[in-house]
Amino acid sequence: MSKNRNTSPLFYVYWDNSKLNEKNIIKYINDFSYEENDIRKIEYPTNDLKLVYPKDNLYKLMKKRQSSRLYNDYQLNVKQLSSLFSCFTQVDNHRLLSSAGGKYPIEVYALCFNVKNFNNKIVYYNYSDNSLSIIGNCQDWDSLKSITGVGDAITGRPSIMFVFVGFPDRVVSKYGERGGRFLLIESGHYIQNLLLRITYEKLKAVELGGLFDDDIKNILGLKNTNAIITLGVICGK
């Protein structure tokens, strides 16, 4: 057991209790299928300043971003693959993402279903020199979609699935329970960078918040580690 499970037990209790697997996924789906319609908008009595929307390229890109569950078995090329991973890189000793205390507890993996020269390969992103390491083989999308929490909600075959893996020890050792919150926030930073890059490449994506934690860890070769699976993203066209 990690020493940080003792110094930050509440974060690990929360994480263990929120894991998904084939046994509890049905209850999870049933629980969130109920939607509360009476969601009150926060309103104040005055509107003191009417804001102006920007007209720059970044805002135009943000407007184009949307979630998609329909894919057409498109093959990513190396240029596109490089573009997508570039949003996690380090340039001149500067990371493109912020991190509490510079601990960077998030690592990026990907399962390549239809990527030139990488079909059915699992890769790890080396941010320091902007490279990929092949760490194993994976099954095709149709064989793995049952452990992604989306099941038959996805039509077609995406090109790639990114997985953001957290290593809590890096951050809770300094920040305690609060470090667990920082880790999840940082996972959001990674997702946002990637989604903007995907939009720029005129590709499609959807976030995966229901990955089966232990199954995905096993596939990535992280079974006997303290890694946690935070979020995933499938991407294609």
pLDDT (tens, 9 = 90+) of the chain, 237 residues, equals: 455 677 788 998 999 989 989 888 878 777 766 566 667 888 999 999 999 999 999 999 999 999 999 999 999 999 999 999 999 999 998 999 999 999 999 999 999 999 999 999 999 999 999 999 999 999 999 999 999 998 789 999 999 999 999 999 999 999 999 999 999 999 999 999 999 999 999 999 999 999 999 999 999 999 999 999 999 999 999
Placement of tokens 């890769």 in the chain: 123
Q: What is the pLDDT of residue 152?
A: 84
CA distances from 130 to 84, 86, 87, 91, 154 (A): 11, 7, 10, 9, 30
- Expressed as residue numbers, the domain containing 81 is 68-236
Pair type for strands 121-126 and 131-137: antiparallel
Please indicate, yes or no, if residue 39 is contained in any of the structural domains: no
Global pTM reads 0.92
Q: What is the pLDDT of residue 32?
A: 65
DSSP state, 76?
Answer: B
CATH number at residue 206: 3.40.109.10
Please indicate, yes or no, if residue 49 is contained in any of the structural domains: no
Please indicate, yes or no, if residue 62 is contained in any of the structural domains: no
Q: What is the pLDDT of residue 27?
A: 80
Q: Within a 10 A sphere around the Cβ of 133, how many other Cβ atoms? A: 10
Q: What is the pLDDT of residue 213?
A: 96
Q: Which residues contact 104 (CB under 8 A, 6 or more apart)?
A: 95, 97, 170, 186
CA angle (180 as vertex; 174, 184 as ends), nearest 5: 125
Asked if 235 and 67 touch (Cβ cutoff 8 Å), the reply is no
Please indicate, yes or no, if residue 16 is contained in any of the structural domains: no
Asked if 233 and 194 touch (Cβ cutoff 8 Å), the reply is yes
Q: What is the pLDDT of residue 1?
A: 44
Please indicate, yes or no, if residue 77 is contained in any of the structural domains: yes
Number of domains within the chain: 1
d(CA 211, CA 4): 24
Please indicate, yes or no, if residue 175 is contained in any of the structural domains: yes
Please indicate, yes or no, if residue 102 is contained in any of the structural domains: yes
78-85 and 177-200 helices, crossing angle to 10°: 140
Please indicate, yes or no, if residue 185 is contained in any of the structural domains: yes
Burial of 45 (0-12, 13-18, 19+ CB in 10 A): exposed
